[in-house]
Amino acid sequence: MRHICLALCLSVLALPGLAQEIEARKVYPGTGDHSLRIISTADLDVFHPYILAFQKARPDLTVEYSVASSVELYKAIRAEAEYDLALSSAMDLQMQLANDGFAQGYRSTRTDALPDWARWRDLIYAFTAEPAVVVLSTKVLGDRPLPATRQDLINLLRTHPDRFVNAVGTYDVRESGLGYLFATQEARSTDAYWRLSEVMGRLLPRLFCCSSQMVEEVIAGDLALAYNVLGSYASERLARETDDTIRIVRMEDFANVMLRTAIIPANARNTDDAGAMMDWLLEVGLRESADAWPLPPLNKSSAAATTGFGPIRLGPALMIYLDPLNRRAFLEEWENALEQ
Amino acid sequence: MIPQISIGRRLTALLAGVAAVLSLLSWSMVSGLARQAAAQSQDNVLAASATTIAETVRSEQGEVRLELPYSAFSMLGAISEDRVFYKVTAGGTLLTGYADLPAPRADPASGRITFQTEDYLGEAVRTASVRRNVLAGTRAVPVDVTVAQTLGGVRAISGQLSRTAAGLSIAFFIVAVGLSALAARTSLRPLNSFAQAVSRRGPSDLRPLRRDTPSELAPLRSALNRLMDRLGQSIRRSEDFIAEAAHRVRTPLATVRTQAEIALRSAPDADARQRLRQIIRAVDESSRSAGQLLDHATVAFRAEDLAQDRMDLGVLVTQTAAALEPTATMKDIRLELDTAPAHVNGDAVLLDSALRNILDNAIKYSPEETTVRIKVRAAEKTARITVSDDGPGLGDGPARALTGRFCRGSNTEGIIGSGLGLTIAAEVLEAHGGQLDLGPNPEGNGTCVTFVLPSA
Amino acid sequence: MRYLLVEDNAELADSVVKRLAMDGHAVDHALTLADADACLRTARYDLILLDVMLPDGDGRDFLARSRAQIETPVIVLTARAQVSDRVGALNQGADDYITKPFDFSELEARVRAVLRRRGGSARNEITLGTALFDPMSGNLRLGEDNVALRNRETRLLEVFARHPGQTFSKGQLLDRLFSFDADVTENAIEVYVGRLRRQIGPLGLRIETVRGLGYRLETE
């Protein structure tokens, strides 16, 4: 399969081969000579406790944790870089990898316990369900109530453009895989997305690669509002803040719930330990109690209760927006909306 | 040769075989239909997907444009978790999708959908292709849309249905085997009852079978009747033969004996008389031996399939004693009967034969002008005939040994007898589940013979 | 007595006729059942001796067929000794049967038994002096005096009565009185003669001893 040339030329993603941009790497040395190489989109400090806990059970295992953007991760796996486990928040890219044969099957009693919506075949398994949220500073609200819907948000932005000029942040969907996923799914689900985008476009929005940066800027006061931020990051970061003027708002009209997924790459060497890690992640993901893990559990009922919507469906339909023609068309529209 | 397997089992096996074939047939038919139906529904969805994509193809400023609608893939994702591939070409140039996805082998007619099963990325895929001609600038460009999906879902569905069908077929088979066994048993019932009717018959019942039988058994019945008829004829012939043989032997013996008696009347000297007496005794002895051998053979023959007629021993004893009365009178021997009703089940002919032999002995060995006492008594579980005489007794040998074949007591010289009498009686009683007791007469110096038989 | 002998074996028939004649019986002989029918139509018999196997049929079938017309007692002569045959013969109307070869004294005993069962026959009484002797029953009568003889005594007296004035040796008497299967000495004859003398003496009958020759019955 390796030698088959896939002409799926995603214009943005089609970058030359093996030179991935690894943002951070950390090795957790074990006592034995086995090592497990993980590539992930989750920041090191977010995932750190998971690795420590896993290593407590497997002290012999050396864990090598590399952080990359979802696009870089996708490219790395496609270029057959040697990783044993790939954890990504970009469901569509993971889906494309699995569909195109870059993931290998894995089954255990753990995976069998997963609900159907949290897996695709025996290739992709979800271990968190993370909603997209709005983070905003209440200072800009004045006497207005917290916006509950996109329409509220549009009204707020239109009423007080002065408060938001240069102070609205969102994903640069051209660079962020997750941002692109959120944007396409939202555009598919609600027409308010484009209206909101146009409103934001007039306010000279600032574009980001990652949720964490947006949250930091809101906390720093440089941003009044960050749209489509990963709720998990925001909660985790804000829990460390004392400033109660910053609020996490979940949209009630529609909210994306992203599933963070894991695949075992087709060329993985240490599949046994990758499977063990997968099982362990699923065990944490399926936990009933709201333990103090940085990432929220899969628990569908809680996700459904807080957002009113199910998570983004795993399946080949996710690949639709990755099609170069579709992507070009979507980005054109997006750029028209946001870069006025 | 026909193997000795029961017809019931063979019939069951045959019917079960038919059921197995039917089960297999229905299973393969259902499986085939399931496969077909699953493949058909996949084809339908693939066609819908390709058509949906093709419908978005348009020309903008001389350029062919299209967008993949979300539904084109979501409908494929809805039917199964199969991998999806696609490819759109315009005039042979790739527009988007997987470049190496196999294209339709023949140019599809516009608007018509062609399906193919191909191998792609190491897996079998089903492809649906549709062509649409788009006017790009001044010329019409054929746009081919191909959507492919792996066959896992179809196989899973048809496999599932096939397993269900297999389960049903096995269940059908099991039920059919049960019913087959039942049917076999039911259809063999007339045969069994026919066999019972034959086996219930007495040993000498050779009358033709008259019972109604199913038409299939009619040949068996008539064959059996013919066989019994022939058997009956054969038995009659051999009986006639024995009678003829006995007649042929015994008639000349009778002539000899009579002539000897006549000669004895007129023989003057003692030597001649002595010789004539010896002739007569030899004749008597051979005749008696022949009779007893025949009796003995009769016992052996009839004991194999003993008749179980209910009878009163008292009546039997009275009749048998009456037949021997003249012989006893010749010696002025009195036969003293003391009978009470005593019922037993058995063969009257054999019991008569046994008693006759014993009485014959008693009369023969008893001195003149004595009494032979015959007593019949019934106890709770046994019926007894006691024959006691005032004869010389049993001698010194063990009583049991006397009932052995051709044994005679040590003190019977001068009396004609083959020694089979006691043996015959003992065998008859044994065949009836009884026994013959021999002992000294407690009321005199003779012998006491007791028949012990189970009461009826 | 008058017998009808139905027997297809001429030699046997001849000897039987001869043997019975020695005892003073008249015997007609029929070779076939047809002959027997003819005889029965023309004469009356005291007893029929019937063979079973005859050229023109089975004696037992003849018996069963003609039993209604014939009142004469029948003793079947059979070569078969089997019990079932004996029973068969009696069931078909025979009064008794006797198996070939037969002892004539047994035959006579059976004839007597049959005739006794049939009610006796006065015609067979023999006059001995002033007394009447019935060899069938062993009865000896003189006026009111009645003597019942035992079988041996009756037989002994019958021998003398049927041959008036004849002297019989002990050997001759032995042969006539006893079966041949018993070893009886001539002393036994002396015993029986002695007993008969004591029985018949009061009726005026005497058995003389003829020295060296034997015994003779004196009726005067």
For the stretch B30-72, pLDDT in tens is 889 988 988 999 999 999 999 999 999 988 888 888 889 999 9
More confident residue, A255 or C80: A255
Give me the pLDDT at residue C77, please: 86
Backbone region of residue B395 per phi and psi (left: phi > 0; alpha: psi in -120 to 50; beta: other values): left
Let me know if chains A and B touch, i.e. at least 3 Cβ pairs under 8 angstroms: yes
When pLDDT is cut at 50, 70 and 90, the band that residue A62 belongs to is: very high
Looking only at the bridges linking them, the beta strands covering A124-137 and A119-120 are: antiparallel
For every residue of B37-68, DSSP letters joined together read HHHHHHHHHHHHHHHHHHHT-EEETTEEE---
Instruction: Measure CA B407 to chain center.
Output: 45
pLDDT at B301 > cutoff 80: no
Residue A4 located in a structural domain: no
Residue A321 located in a structural domain: no
Tokens encoding C25: 């019986």
When pLDDT is cut at 50, 70 and 90, the band that residue B365 belongs to is: confident
Distance (Å) of CA A129 to CA A71, A107, A303, B7, B183: 20, 21, 7, 70, 63
Give me the pLDDT at residue A290, please: 62
Q: Which residues of A touch B72 (CB under 8 A)?
A: 320
Question: In Å, how far is B263's CA from the nearest CA of chain C?
Answer: 10
The domains found in chain B, sorted by start residue, are 7-159 (no CATH), 307-454 (3.30.565.10)
Q: A250 and A135, same structural domain? A: yes
Q: Which residues of B touch A117 (CB under 8 A)?
A: none
Q: A72 and A57, same structural domain? A: yes
Tokens encoding C73: 């007692």
Instruction: Report pLDDT digits (tens) over C60-89.
Output: 788 887 777 778 888 988 876 565 566 666
Q: What is the distance in angstroms between the CA of the first residue and the CA of the last residue of chain C?
A: 26
Q: Residues near B429 by Cβ (< 8 Å), separated by ≥ 6?
A: B354, B435, B436, B451, B452, B453
Q: A159 and A90, same structural domain? A: no
Distance (Å) of CA B256 to CA A267, B272, B346, C108: 122, 15, 39, 19
Collapse the DSSP code of B24 into the 3-class scheme (helix H, G, I; strand E, B; otherwise coil) and give the result.
Answer: helix
Residue A282 located in a structural domain: yes
When pLDDT is cut at 50, 70 and 90, the band that residue C211 belongs to is: confident
Domain CATH number, residue A72:
3.40.190.10
Q: A123 and A158, same structural domain? A: no
Closest residue in A to B147 (Cα) is A316
d(CA A331, CA A70): 18
Tell me whether residues B287 and C101 touch, CB distance under 8 A.
yes
pLDDT at A26 > cutoff 50: yes
- Mean pLDDT confidence for A168-189: 92
For every residue of A184-243, DSSP letters joined together read HHHHHH-THHHHHHHHHHTT--EEES-HHHHHHHHHHTS-SEEEEEEHHHHHHHHTT---
Q: What is the distance in angstroms between the CA of the first residue and the CA of the last residue of chain A?
A: 44
pLDDT at A300 > cutoff 80: no
When pLDDT is cut at 50, 70 and 90, the band that residue B204 belongs to is: low
Chain C segment 153-182 residues within 8 A of B by beta carbon are 171-172, 175, 179-182
Q: Are A116 and A132 in contact (CB under 8 A)?
A: no
pLDDT at A5 > cutoff 90: no
Q: A334 and A248, same structural domain? A: yes
Tokens encoding A17: 């081969």
Give me the pLDDT at residue B183, please: 87
Segments of B152-215 assigned E as strands: none
Most C-contacting residue of B330, B331, B356, B365 (CB-CB within 10 A), to test interface: B330
Q: Are B363 and B333 in contact (CB under 8 A)?
A: yes
Q: Which residues of B touch A317 (CB under 8 A)?
A: 70-71, 73-74, 76-77
pLDDT at C218 > cutoff 90: no
> Which of A7, A121, A320 lies nearest to residue B99, judging by beta carbons?
A7
When pLDDT is cut at 50, 70 and 90, the band that residue A2 belongs to is: very low
Q: Are A261 and A126 in contact (CB under 8 A)?
A: yes
Q: A172 and A96, same structural domain? A: no
Q: Residues near B442 by Cβ (< 8 Å), separated by ≥ 6?
A: B388, B448
The set of chains that have 3 or more CB pairs under 8 A with A is: B
When pLDDT is cut at 50, 70 and 90, the band that residue A153 belongs to is: very high
Instruction: Report pLDDT digits (tens) over B267-294.
Output: 878 888 888 888 898 888 888 887 777 7
pLDDT at A305 > cutoff 70: no
Residue A284 located in a structural domain: yes
Residue A17 located in a structural domain: no
CA-derived radius of gyration, chain C: 19
Q: Are C115 and C73 in contact (CB under 8 A)?
A: yes
Q: Are B371 and B336 in contact (CB under 8 A)?
A: yes
Q: Give the strand order in the sheet containing C96-99.
A: C26-30, C2-6, C47-51, C74-78, C96-99
When pLDDT is cut at 50, 70 and 90, the band that residue A16 belongs to is: very low
Tokens encoding A111: 């995976």
Question: In Å, how far is A325's CA from the nearest CA of chain B?
Answer: 6
Question: In Å, how far is B36's CA from the nearest CA of chain A?
Answer: 23
Tell me whether residues A5 and B99 touch, CB distance under 8 A.
yes
d(CA B198, CA B376): 37
Give me the pLDDT at residue A120, please: 93
Q: A226 and A281, same structural domain? A: no
- Mean pLDDT confidence for C195-209: 87
The domain tally of chain A equals: 2
Give me the pLDDT at residue A340, please: 66
Q: Residues near B223 by Cβ (< 8 Å), separated by ≥ 6?
A: none
More confident residue, A301 or B235: B235
Judged by a CB distance cut-off of 8 A, whether residue B72 touches chain A is yes
The set of chains that have 3 or more CB pairs under 8 A with B is: A, C
When pLDDT is cut at 50, 70 and 90, the band that residue A236 belongs to is: confident
Q: Three-class SS string for B354-410?
A: HHHHHHHHHHHHCCCCCEEEEEEEECCCEEEEEEECCCCCCCCCCCHHHHCCCCCCC
Q: A212 and A120, same structural domain? A: no
Give me the pLDDT at residue B308, please: 84
Looking only at the bridges linking them, the beta strands covering A62-67 and A35-40 are: parallel
- Mean pLDDT confidence for B107-118: 82
Query: 């041959």: which residue's tokens?
Result: C163
Q: Which residues of A touch B54 (CB under 8 A)?
A: none
- Mean pLDDT confidence for B331-342: 91
Give me the pLDDT at residue B85, please: 94
Instruction: Report pLDDT digits (tens) over C36-61.
Output: 988 888 888 888 999 887 888 888 78
Give me the pLDDT at residue A77, please: 94
What's the domain range around A183?
Answer: 131-256+326-338
Q: A307 and A186, same structural domain? A: no
d(CA B267, CA C177): 16
Judged by a CB distance cut-off of 8 A, whether residue B208 touches chain A is no
Q: What is the mean pLDDT of chain B?
A: 84
- Mean pLDDT confidence for B411-430: 71
Tell me whether residues C113 and B329 touch, CB distance under 8 A.
yes
Task: Identify the bridge partners of residue C47 per DSSP, sorted by sequence position.
Answer: C3
pLDDT at B1 > cutoff 60: no
Q: A268 and A162, same structural domain? A: no
More confident residue, A70 or C219: A70
> Which of C53, C151, C183 lies nearest to residue B414, judging by beta carbons?
C183
Residue A52 located in a structural domain: yes
Q: A118 and A79, same structural domain? A: yes
Using a pLDDT cut of 90, give the percent of chain B over it: 30
Q: Residues near B443 by Cβ (< 8 Å), separated by ≥ 6?
A: B388
CB-CB neighbours of A109 under 10 Å: 8
Give me the pLDDT at residue B145, please: 92
Tokens encoding B181: 């066994």
For every residue of A9-47, DSSP letters joined together read --TTT---SS-----EEEEE--SSS-EEEEEESS-HHHH
Judged by a CB distance cut-off of 8 A, whether residue C183 touches chain B is yes
- Lowest-confidence region among B307-321, B411-425, B427-441, C11-25: B411-425
Give me the pLDDT at residue A9, please: 38
Residue A168 located in a structural domain: yes
Quick one: DSSP state of residue A138? G
Q: Which residues of A touch B146 (CB under 8 A)?
A: none
Q: A251 and A163, same structural domain? A: yes
Residue A304 located in a structural domain: yes
Tell me whether residues B121 and A315 touch, CB distance under 8 A.
no
The domains found in chain C, sorted by start residue, are 2-117 (3.40.50.2300), 125-218 (1.10.10.10)
Distance (Å) of CA B191 to CA B1, B216, C61: 21, 10, 40
- Mean pLDDT confidence for B386-412: 62
Give me the pLDDT at residue A14, please: 42
